[in-house]
Amino acid sequence: MRNLPSLTGLRVFEVAARHASFKLAADELCVTQAAVSRQIRQLEEDFAVDLFLRGHRKVSLTPAGKKLYLSTHNAFSDIAKTSQEIQSESLPNYLNLYATSSFSRFTGKKRH
Residue spans of the domains in the chain: they are 7-83
**Which has more pLDDT, 98 or 28?**
28
Please name the residue ranges forming H helices in the chain: 7-19, 22-29, 33-47, 63-89, 101-104
Find, among 15, 31, 3, 26, the residue nearest to 77 by Cα: 15
The one-character DSSP state at 93 is S
Sign of CA dihedral 63, 69, 72, 78: negative
pLDDT reported for residue 18? 96
Q: Report the topology of domain 7-83.
A: Arc Repressor Mutant, subunit A (1.10.10)
| pLDDT of the residue at 106 | 64
Write out the DSSP string of 66-89: HHHHHHHHHHHHHHHHHHHHHHHH
pTM of the model: 0.75
Share the mean pLDDT of the chain. Answer: 89
Cross-strand bridge partners of residue 111: none
pLDDT score of 87 more than 80:
yes
Query: How confident is the model at residue 105, as a pLDDT?
Result: 72
Q: Is residue 39's pLDDT more than 70?
A: yes
Mean pLDDT value across residues 10-14: 98
